[in-house]
Structure 1
Amino acid sequence: MRVVPLDEPELPESSHYIVWDCRTAETARRWSRQGGATRLNRTIACGRLLNGRDILRLDDLGIRYACNTHPNIDGLLRLVGYIDAETISTRKERIAEAHDVANTVFNATTAAFGMFASVTHYDATFYENLSSEFDKRLKVAPLMLLVDAISANQETTIQHCSLVTTIAVAFGGVLGLGAADMERLFLSAFFHDIGKSVVPKHVIDKPGKLTPDEIRLVRSHVTVGYEMLRRFPETAGEIADVALYHHEMLDGSGYPNGLKGGEISDLIRLVTICDVFAALIERRSYKPPMPAREAYGILQAMGPKLDQALVAVFGEVVESLA
């Protein structure tokens, strides 16, 4: 969509146009000579000085939508939607595709519990309810767009987010979290790395050492993710905070703000442990998966960087994977 100024000399390349001035008929005649009436069949002409004769002349030139007032933006957008049925149809298809992607990823995440040898903490009813709630949110909230943002560009990232979410919910079961806290944990883990959707794939999957510029680019994913999530009520607050702070360490050695101890919430501590563990045990194009017990040893060796009381409890999750 383009709003065209008074002195636009050439017919713009666009899907439809808005001509908004008292010389609308003159502009339309000039464009009609350049591109023919078919180029103007989705043009909206507005002008307070347009009279009945002008409107008939515009119709002859291929402009079917004209008014002699300046419409408000809501009315204009409704008219654009009516005119551009093809665009609206495409948008609906895109939404449907994103919805399918979201459900596929969700189902793959919950199904991943098959990798656990122990299902002591697996509650089938809880997952059925969580799936229903997730599906309901997708229809009224921007979650499907956020899921699509993760999956559209980064197969590695969506794989990692699914694994972190699976591990996080298993950890939540060991901790005895209730349904509301489990949903918070699920969404926080699922979207924690959404900022990586803007990091080039060749950087995410680079097998060798990153350059200083590449390191800065990768680290920017926390602030990018926070900005993406805080825009929506469904993901603002603590879910966005997890995206921003999941690389903070309790000893202050993390990023982006070098937070310490009590400045880091329990939810962030949980997701951080699951994030580090998942990164170690998952397969990448440049490395094989690390055995679960070896990865757990690294968590323990990180000492004051992680909440070691939580790491100790996390051992039960590790044993079910070993």
Structure 2
Amino acid sequence: MEIVLISDGPLPMESPVRRLPLFFHARLIDMDKVSPATVGEGKIAIVELLDATDAGLIALKAAWGSIAAIPVICFVAKKNRREVIQAGALGKSEMLDRETPLALILRRLNSLTQKDVADTLPARMPQKTVEAYRKGNVFLENMCLASAEGTKIPVSVLKSSASDIFDAMSQEGLSFWMEAVNSHHSPTYSHSLKVAGLAGMFANHLGWSKGECEEVIAGGLVHDIGKTRIPLSILDKADKLTDKERAIIDKHPLYGREILKPRLELPIDIKKMAIQHHEYLDGTGYPDGLKGERISPKVRLITICDIFTALTEERAYKEGLPVRTAISMMQDMGPKLDQKMVSAFARMLLDRGFGELNRSEQKVRRGSAA
């Protein structure tokens, strides 16, 4: 869902609207530039009235027809009579107080357009997988909100979600899980859900305990928490990233450390999976250049699942690689990865016929898109 943010010049630092691009695809439009062309396919318009000038408001009112067909929310200080009158004079819209908690703002925006995340799943999808998919999505949304507000991460929801995902895959299969998460509208959420599923089944393949399997699933859900500080306009960009945008994304393990360091509610092993999943065994990874035994088996496992997912998933600017090609590339990384684990990972996927299933699903999606 894309929202258009309308302000008279740059968004004021104290405006809650500045945080919305972390949760939605958003574009900023100056009040005097509003038109059908600039609004485009926007689904919701957000008008920030703080510091709006008379000239800006006159221009916006003149162009009000450009946004009248979609929901419009004006952010005001309800105690500021001038702003309330300005909002009322513009035209039909909803007013939200600037002091409204972020959670309530997000809930209201989601309620305007969002459907059940499971609505896009095929009718034949097994029920346990559907419910686990829903719960995983709920956790990711709560995690993003907790990160933005500096509140505690809902560990009970995380553990419950990891348990449900493991049970669903154990009973209904990894392939159903991967098919479900491939349908997610958010590439960022889809990636985390894929890594979580692969990590749980890989740990199970290696003979790890159920508790360890669920912990690496939890690690997969949390591993990209640092990306909650990166606007979705960069994370889910349809075109290839610029060098500057890539440099911003590469900071996400550092952002993850900043977010997770004070959160004592989260187990240390899950924190390590989030902070260290771009470290390589030969010391060439980041953010700390860790080497060898300083990188735990759980982190090594998440790294393999993360790289494989990045190589095989489709984006608007690239096709996903075939499974065998991705595995070959990971083998070519040599001492950077735990190659014994890579070999075991390959056996797990190829013995399941996962490669053939993955390719056929991608063909179906491309065909339906065409």
Q: Report the TM-score when normalising by structure 1.
A: 0.56
Counterpart selection for 1:185 from 216, 227, 251: 216
Q: Report the TM-score when normalising by structure 2.
A: 0.49
Q: 1:315 to 1:93 in 2, by over 3 A?
A: closer
Percent identity over the alignment? 32
C-alpha distance in 2 between matches for 1:157 and 1:93 = 18
Counterpart selection for 1:146 from 120, 143, 155: 143
Letter in 2 for 1:145: N
Q: 1:149 to 1:277 in 2, by over 3 A?
A: farther
Q: Please give the residue correspondences for 1:162-173 in structure 2 after superposition, counting only pairs within 5 Å.
A: 162-173=193-204
Does 1:14 find its partner at 2:11?
no
Does 1:94 find its partner at 2:157?
no
Q: Please give the residue correspondences for 1:51-130 in structure 2 after superposition, counting only pairs within 5 Å.
A: 91=104, 94=107, 104=117
Q: Please give the residue correspondences for 1:1-322 in structure 2 after superposition, counting only pairs within 5 Å.
A: 14-15=77-78, 91=104, 94=107, 104=117, 144-147=141-144, 155-204=186-235, 205=237, 207-208=239-240, 210-211=242-243, 213-319=244-350, 320=352, 321-322=354-355
What is the CA deviation profile of residues 70-99 of structure 1, one whole-angstrom value per residue up to 9, with x for unaligned ones? xxxxxxxxxxxxxx9x958x739839x79x
Aligned residue for 1:254, secondary structure, equals coil
- Structure 1: stretches of 5+ with no match in the other structure: 1-12, 17-33, 40-83, 115-123
Number of equivalent positions: 221
**Could you tell me how far 1:257 is from its partner in structure 2?**
0.8
**Could you tell me how far 1:191 is from its partner in structure 2?**
1.3
- Structure 2: stretches of 5+ with no match in the other structure: 1-75, 86-96, 148-184, 356-370
Letter in 2 for 1:14: A
Q: 1:219 to 1:35 in 2, by over 3 A?
A: closer
Letter in 2 for 1:239: I
What is the CA deviation profile of residues 17-38 of structure 1, one whole-angstrom value per residue up to 9, with x for unaligned ones? xxxxxxxxxxxxxxxxx959x9
Q: 1:316 to 1:164 in 2, by over 3 A?
A: same
What is the CA deviation profile of residues 24-63 of structure 1, one whole-angstrom value per residue up to 9, with x for unaligned ones? xxxxxxxxxx959x99xxxxxxxxxxxxxxxxxxxxxxxx
Tell me if the contact between 1:149 and 1:194 (Cα under 8 Å) persists in the aligned partners. Answer: no
C-alpha distance in 1 between matches for 2:135 and 2:318 = 35
Tell me if the contact between 2:276 and 2:299 (Cα under 8 Å) persists in the aligned partners. Answer: yes
Letter in 1 for 2:242: L
Q: 1:155 to 1:305 in 2, by over 3 A?
A: same
Tell me if the contact between 2:224 and 2:256 (Cα under 8 Å) persists in the aligned partners. Answer: yes
**Could you tell me how far 1:189 is from its partner in structure 2?**
0.6
Tell me if the contact between 1:206 and 1:286 (Cα under 8 Å) persists in the aligned partners. Answer: yes
Taking only aligned residues, the RMSD between alpha carbons, in angstroms, comes to 4.2
Letter in 2 for 1:220: K
**Could you tell me how far 1:201 is from its partner in structure 2?**
3.6
